Chains A and B, each alone.
Chain A
Amino acid sequence: MRFLFSRRFWYGVLLSILCIGAAITYWLWQPITPTLQWEALAGNPERGAYLARMSGCITCHTDSQAGSVALSGGKALKTPFGEFRAPNITTDKVHGIGSWTPQQFAIAVREGISPEGKPYYPAFPYTFYTQFSDQDIADLWAAFQTVPPVSIPDPKQTIAYPFNIREGLKFWRALYFKAENFEPEPFQKDSQHTETYNRGKFIVEVAAHCAACHTPRNALGALESENHLSGGVDSAQNKVPSITASALLKKGWTKDDLAYALQTGITPDGDVFGGSMSDIVEQGTAFLSWQDLIAISEYLFNANQSSITDTKH
């Protein structure tokens, strides 16, 4: 134990700490090199636009309340870590994504990595979009190419320290996202269920990322998978209800009621959705086909916990 009183020992400890700290800092500030080589497919812009509606792109990236131009930047998304604002994703070459390549777009959407190699905050739901197929990405890309450029700088983020250090997200990704050696794992249909159920599952669990609001989050902002769809808070910190099958049945919802509410915002008791759900209906689900709305209901009313938690977030 005499070595504890040795000056040389403590110098060694200090040097080790400094070396480890330097290594971590170097790792954090290194740009992330995406591993995926995405081969651009021909995209269908109409299908892509429909998928963009379904996926909430227009809802989040448009400040409809302020009357902003579509996709030129969203309103504040309030979280315990600060206020996030979705950026301008029009085709403007300076402020939007006009100078991006299809490959960069694919990496941004499915891996959550910017063209500069920086990680995106998970307020951008790439952890859901990671299950988009190559064709989904190609269609989205084709749709975004039709958006006229809007030369508006990204809205200002107000994120609290230390969460405003974007590089720190590498830790988050290591904990909650398959960050290294990314390989696309597109949504797979469950052969034991109907086409309608599988379509609903794709919409709920991937594109529309319902769990982002309807599932509680832990202290680090990750979804609590064991409480999937059991209720959470929305972007304005409003209470968001549970949409598990048992909760929906308990509250007297039917599949038809739910589909209609997603189309119109009007609930079975004559109330109308408020909070962020009103934006989601107005900018998103109101545009979905009746068949897709029924598919959402079919999935939510029939999904059991095990089939839900199998999904990757």
Chain B
Amino acid sequence: MKKVVFIISLLFATATALVFAHGDATGIVKERMDLMVSLKNAMKNLKPLFRGKEEYDVEKVKQNALAIRDAAGNHMTKLFPEGSLKMPSEATPEIWTQWEEFQRLADNLGRLGQALHDGAENNQTAGPNAMGSSAMGGPGMMGQGHMMEGGMMSQGGMMGGGRGGMHGLDNMTDEKLVSMPAAGLFRMIGQSCAACHKQYRVEK
């Protein structure tokens, strides 16, 4: 009898754990949470390659870049039908009041994923400051001169501007993107994710 009770308890505990492991998400919310996990995993796989922690592997970059592309654009936005905020969704309602912006960010992520795939061979040195002298302007002290915001003085000289707003991406051709260093594209993908998270994700 004790053995039966033990087995039933074990099955119950396993089932409960499985449910909670997926954060209670179901339906469309679960689908998009899974999609976000796939994006996260791709970024996790790419990070050591661009930091010089792993040997640079073009095929691995291409593979993960495609994973990003295939989780972006309409693949992503179709998983956000209006009002789908059922818990444990982390989406904010602004997605639907600013749908064009949300779609733009999702599309740009797709373009960046494709560009990283196509330009994966165009790798420059990796390391903690790999982006310091890149086309993105990188984390230089004053943050000036980044091509994404149109030059040194446009945002108020040494005291102005961010490290490259994602709005500038709209004005870049795909050819231009592909010509950028792969490490730069990786950082831009991170910025693209951040731009979306800060507007459309609740931090829990």
**With the chains together, A69 CA to B149 CA distance in Å?**
11
A148-178 to B contact mask, C-beta < 8 Å, 1/0: 1010000000000000000000000000000
Instruction: Contact check, B158 vs A278: say whether CB atoms are below 8 A apart.
Output: no
Instruction: Contact check, B203 vs A282: say whether CB atoms are below 8 A apart.
Output: no
**With the chains together, A272 CA to B42 CA distance in Å?**
12
**With the chains together, A270 CA to B67 CA distance in Å?**
13
Q: Across the two chains, which residue of chain B brings its CB closest to A50?
A: B141
Within 8 A of B (CB), among A39-86: 45-46, 49-50, 52-53, 57-58, 62, 64-65, 67, 69-71
**With the chains together, A62 CA to B143 CA distance in Å?**
15
A260-B128 contact, Cβ under 8 Å, with A265-B191, A270-B44, A274-B197: yes
**With the chains together, A197 CA to B44 CA distance in Å?**
29
Instruction: Contact check, B201 vs A263: say whether CB atoms are below 8 A apart.
Output: no
Asked if B21 CB lies within 8 Å of chain A CBs, one says: no
B122-152 to A contact mask, C-beta < 8 Å, 1/0: 0000001101000000111111000000000
Instruction: Contact check, A287 vs B194: say whether CB atoms are below 8 A apart.
Output: no
Instruction: Contact check, B139 vs A270: say whether CB atoms are below 8 A apart.
Output: no
**With the chains together, A146 CA to B139 CA distance in Å?**
20
A70-B193 contact, Cβ under 8 Å, with A64-B165, A276-B198, A289-B141: no
**With the chains together, A289 CA to B140 CA distance in Å?**
8
Asked if A303 CB lies within 8 Å of chain B CBs, one says: no
Asked if B58 CB lies within 8 Å of chain A CBs, one says: no
**With the chains together, A113 CA to B155 CA distance in Å?**
28
User: Separation in Å of the B148 CB from the closest CB of chain A?
Assistant: 11
Asked if B2 CB lies within 8 Å of chain A CBs, one says: no
Instruction: Contact check, A46 vs B44: say whether CB atoms are below 8 A apart.
Output: no
A273-313 to B contact mask, C-beta < 8 Å, 1/0: 11110110111001111100000000000000000000000
B21-42 to A contact mask, C-beta < 8 Å, 1/0: 0000000000000000001111
Instruction: Contact check, B163 vs A71: say whether CB atoms are below 8 A apart.
Output: no
Q: Total A-B residue pairs with C-beta atoms closer than 8 Å?
A: 132
**With the chains together, A90 CA to B67 CA distance in Å?**
44
Instruction: Contact check, A52 vs B159: say whether CB atoms are below 8 A apart.
Output: yes
Asked if A234 CB lies within 8 Å of chain B CBs, one says: yes
**With the chains together, A58 CA to B143 CA distance in Å?**
11
Asked if B60 CB lies within 8 Å of chain A CBs, one says: no
**With the chains together, A265 CA to B143 CA distance in Å?**
16
Cβ contact of B45, chosen from A69, A270, A272, cutoff 8 A: A270
Instruction: Contact check, B43 vs A146: say whether CB atoms are below 8 A apart.
Output: no
B95-113 to A contact mask, C-beta < 8 Å, 1/0: 0000000000000000000
Asked if A121 CB lies within 8 Å of chain B CBs, one says: no
User: Separation in Å of the A2 CB from the closest CB of chain B?
Assistant: 65
User: Separation in Å of the B126 CB from the closest CB of chain A?
Assistant: 12
User: Separation in Å of the A69 CB from the closest CB of chain B?
Assistant: 6
Q: How large is the interface on A (under 10, 10 to 19, 20 to 34, 35 or more residues)?
A: 35 or more
Instruction: Contact check, B160 vs A274: say whether CB atoms are below 8 A apart.
Output: no
Cβ contact of A71, chosen from B44, B142, B160, cutoff 8 A: B160
Asked if B75 CB lies within 8 Å of chain A CBs, one says: no
Instruction: Contact check, B203 vs A270: say whether CB atoms are below 8 A apart.
Output: no
Asked if B204 CB lies within 8 Å of chain A CBs, one says: yes
A58 contacts across to B, CB distance below 8 A? 159-162
Asked if B86 CB lies within 8 Å of chain A CBs, one says: no
A259 contacts across to B, CB distance below 8 A? 128
A287-B163 contact, Cβ under 8 Å, with A50-B142, A147-B156, A275-B198: yes
Cβ contact of A53, chosen from B143, B156, B191, cutoff 8 A: B143
Cβ contact of B158, chosen from A46, A69, A266, cutoff 8 A: A46
Q: Across the two chains, which residue of chain A brings its CB closest to B193?
A: A272
**With the chains together, A150 CA to B194 CA distance in Å?**
28
**With the chains together, A52 CA to B160 CA distance in Å?**
10
Instruction: Contact check, B143 vs A287: say whether CB atoms are below 8 A apart.
Output: yes
**With the chains together, A143 CA to B70 CA distance in Å?**
45
Q: Across the two chains, which residue of chain A brings its CB closest to B156?
A: A70
Between A and B, 30 residue pairs with Cβ closer than 8 Å are A46-B141, A49-B158, A50-B141, A52-B159, A62-B160, A64-B162, A65-B198, A67-B165, A70-B155, A71-B160, A146-B158, A146-B159, A240-B203, A259-B128, A260-B51, A263-B139, A265-B190, A265-B191, A265-B194, A266-B190, A269-B44, A272-B193, A275-B197, A278-B194, A281-B194, A282-B163, A282-B191, A287-B141, A287-B142, A290-B129
Given contacts A46-B142, A71-B160, A278-B195, 8 further A-B contacts (CB under 8 A): A69-B160, A143-B159, A148-B157, A260-B47, A272-B193, A275-B203, A286-B138, A290-B129
Chain B contacts to A: CB under 8 angstroms: 39-45, 47, 51, 128-129, 131, 138-143, 155-163, 165, 167, 187, 190-191, 193-195, 197-199, 201-204
